[in-house]
Amino acid sequence: MNKHPVPSMAATTAHPFRGDASVLAREPLEWRRRGWSRREWDLLANGQRVGGLVLRRSFREHAQLDGPSGTWAIRRHFWSGAIEVFFKDRPALRYESRPFTRDVVECAEGSRFEWGRPAWWKSDWDMSTESGFAVVSFRIRLAFRASGYTIEVSPMGRRLPELEPLILLGGYLLTRAHSHAH
């Protein structure tokens, strides 16, 4: 009998942010603004709050992101405009804006996604693979008191270990664009 068993490969390569992110695979998902003039958003899965986003501005923008796995940090680089998403001080994603093409999202494990609009005349946004297959889509929903974004996750996207940070980053990018437009 071996007193020191070798850990399984799944245990050694598990993602540090794999809390209860399985709730994000449920439909419907949406980001909903708490009020017309507030900079606070709730992430809802099947009508229940599973996360949130609070934008604060003073001299520097600060965002607090909460997901099913816990609290996330966003760091925005002033000169390059790159945005990094951290979980427990470990990098999870890096977003870089690219002119005249879709923006790039690089995961800490090496996978890459693209962020942008599938067509310039639509108000939809998506996170897609490099081959152009959308894994997470965001559709703007406007209402008098509380606007928001509905989220559709493709079957392939439900299996992604990076699903939670991709949804949180997409929500942050859309809410930031929304707050700069007003």
> DSSP of 6-55, one letter per residue?
PPPHHHHS--TT-SSGGGGGSS-EEEEESSTT--EEEEEETTEEEEEEEE
Q: What is the pLDDT of residue 14?
A: 37
Cβ atoms within 10 Å of 6's Cβ, excluding its own: 8
Residue 30 lies in a domain: no
| 12 domain residue, yes or no | no
Looking at per-residue confidence, does 140 or 166 come out higher? 166
Instruction: Answer yes or no: is 19 within a domain.
Output: no
Specify the range with the lowest mean pLDDT, choosing from 73-82, 107-116, 140-149, 158-167: 140-149
> Quick check: 145 pLDDT over 80?
no
Domain residues for the domain of 76 are: 50-181
Q: Give domain status of residue 100, yes or no.
A: yes
- The answer to the question of residue 9 being in a domain is no
Q: Is 101 left (phi over 0), alpha (psi -120 to 50) or beta?
A: beta
What's the confidence (pLDDT) of residue 149? 87
Of 58 and 53, more confident: 53
Residue 147 has pLDDT above 90, yes or no: no
Question: Is 126 a member of any domain?
Answer: yes
Q: Can you give the pTM of this predicted structure?
A: 0.80
- Domain count along the chain: 1
The pLDDT mean for the chain works out to 79
